[in-house]
A and B are shown apart, each in its own frame.
Chain A
């Protein structure tokens, strides 16, 4: 029972980690929270649905992140860079508006109905581990989520571009004085962030249904995680996503009546105890 609970919360947390760390990455570089992230994730899910119908799930898992990385590049050049001189609140509002536009365009093309994606043959069904039967797809989801988490940490820790990202996140002006090109980094980070959202969107297809409200649900969940984790802290976001996933899953088991409110209760409790969130550093330290 407990093992099942933990496995389920890990599966949910995997999706959340991919999205919340993307948010935290952009925030680290640009000091902007991308309120359109939920819509990008939704686009990933719907594009994943379409590509899966044409060429199968695996193709979708490769193509969609690439498409969304291109979208991220456009987002960087057309929105983030021209608005660099504006206040962060204004830019955040612009991303909110862009998210609404993107969401409405998706609804225009796909209609307001929910869709479902089938997991590929090899990932459907379930395996039995220690007398517990568990869906293979969720294990795959956990592996993907934790895998991307590890890759992200390795990138930030051991590559020069990762070092630069950490430097800019810590102190933009000093980093710039040291000759780091924040614009070029931002391009990399923004496309990485949207590509992650694409992966999460494709992975979400077989795990939960794809519906037109998923963008708002997901962005609100991610914002809660980012606030709990300490804004801009990737390590904090990961811990917060795990905590969030566990609370959500445990809530739906033990408190089914108010399960939908559990994340908000968690948020309020954390705000009461630690208004700045549980993470300490600005970015993975």
Chain B
């Protein structure tokens, strides 16, 4: 099932590039998207300063994390509050694999990625069968478990405890050296590409059969079960899929920063991703990514004097109560959450 879904996704991504996807029938739209892609990849590296680029890089990484949160929220109706443990965990594992296991950078990357995917699969297998509210509580608990585990005295030699870990790698990852990842301009191109790939992949999955099943399960799990559908596996696949996106973001982050701090596993990273998703609107792929960028720049503007957390809390309340569709997702957003309360139906995005 997983293979089929992901190959379907990649085929769709491929067809978008070649002939235009189902919704992008107009060549004009395709050209516009291509122009945005190329201009977005090149222009900032030419015109923006290092500081702005750094904020942009952070914004895109947060956007990828927000993308994973939003996808699960929109398609499966599940709110994950443990994104940070995957994001920070992947980075930390990479650092450990580099420092302690003496792997090559590429080997460390693969090892940490595999371990985190296995972890996400096992955790998902345990928790996706619960109801959405319990799921939310369990992801929060699992996230806290990981951040506690990192701080354990016995693992201090491995994880660095509260000090975090420095990663310095020699050699290349995907043909890039450490200095390339550290350069804001060159990293921008990498993270821009990764964000697009993640966004397109999740968008395609949302439009695939898997997405349709997920939305149907979200609306009424019992009905789907009675209709002979497996309601467990699709949600597990979705959970693993979004965690793959989060893990990629975490690995990119550590390649860029060259450092993992225990804070990157903390609950505030998870809530930041949630806020970015809510700000951008959870429907579609553009909203959450834009939300991540907005968050990053807004944090720089208003987040001084330790106000970030306070504003995060305010943003959660305001965006759910007043602007439930976010800045971008004015089309569908969280409409289903309210229509469902009245037993209504909703056009799926």
Contacts and interface: CB of A to CB of B under 8 A. Distances in A.
A93 B135 CA distance: 13
Interface in A199-219: 216, 219
B126 A268 contact: yes
A139 to B, nearest CB: 30
Interface stretch (A95-103, A129-137, A147-155, A181-189): A95-103
Contact of A264 (B142, B267, B338): B142
Given A257-B152, A264-B145, A89 B316 contact: no
Contacts of A257: 152-154
A263 B324 CA distance: 35
A12 B338 CA distance: 40
A257 B309 CA distance: 31
Contacts of B271: 96, 100
Nearest to B146: A264
B309 A104 contact: yes
Contact of A231 (B134, B140, B153, B313): B134
A33 interface: yes
Contacts of B129: 275
A94 B316 contact: yes
A179 interface: no
B144 A261 contact: no
A268 to B, nearest CB: 6
B317 A98 contact: yes
B141 interface: yes
A163 interface: no
Contact of B151 (A105, A260, A264): A260
A109 to B, nearest CB: 12
B136 interface: yes
A83 B320 CA distance: 10
23 contacts: A33-B133, A33-B137, A83-B321, A87-B340, A92-B133, A92-B136, A93-B316, A94-B317, A97-B312, A97-B314, A100-B316, A103-B309, A105-B310, A216-B144, A220-B140, A227-B130, A227-B137, A227-B138, A260-B148, A260-B149, A261-B145, A264-B145, A272-B126
Q: Which of A87, A88, A92 has the most CB of B within 10 A?
A: A87
B141 A220 contact: yes
Nearest to B131: A231
A258 B155 CA distance: 10
B334 to A, nearest CB: 7
Interface in B319-334: 320-321, 324, 334
A86 B320 CA distance: 10
Contacts of A227: 130, 134, 137-138, 141
Contacts of A93: 79, 274, 316, 320
B148 A261 contact: yes
Contacts of B151: 260
A267 interface: yes
A224 interface: yes
Contacts of A264: 141-142, 144-145, 148
Given A227-B130, A260-B148, 5 more contacts: A89-B133, A89-B337, A90-B324, A223-B140, A260-B149
A271 interface: yes
A98 B77 CA distance: 21
Residue of B129, B132, B134 with most chain A CB atoms under a 10 A cut-off: B134
Interface in A1-17: none
A76 to B, nearest CB: 16
B71 to A, nearest CB: 15
A226 interface: yes
Q: Is the interface of B mostly helix, strand, loop or mixed?
A: helix
A157 B50 CA distance: 66
Could you say which interface size class chain A belongs to? 35 or more
Interface of A: 31, 33, 35, 83, 85-90, 92-94, 96-101, 103-105, 108, 216, 219-220, 223-224, 226-227, 231, 257-258, 260-261, 264, 267-268, 271-272, 275
B314 A94 contact: no
B133 A90 contact: no
Contacts of B132: 88-89
Mostly helix, strand, loop or mixed at chain A's interface? helix
A211 to B, nearest CB: 15
Contacts of A219: 140
B178 interface: no
Interface in B327-349: 334, 337-338, 340-342
A216 B270 CA distance: 13
Contacts of B145: 261, 264
Interface centre among B79, B126, B144, B312 (most CB of A within 10 A): B144
A86 B334 CA distance: 11
B86 to A, nearest CB: 16
A58 to B, nearest CB: 33
Given A220-B144, A227-B138, A104 B313 contact: yes
A89 B313 contact: no
A62 to B, nearest CB: 30
A223 B152 contact: no
Contacts of B317: 94, 97-98, 101
Contacts of B267: 216
Contacts of A260: 148-149, 151-152
- 9 A-B pairs closest in CB distance: A97-B316, A100-B313, A101-B313, A264-B145, A104-B310, A97-B317, A87-B337, A223-B137, A260-B148
A223 B141 contact: yes
Contacts of B314: 97, 101
Interface string B117-131: 000000000110111
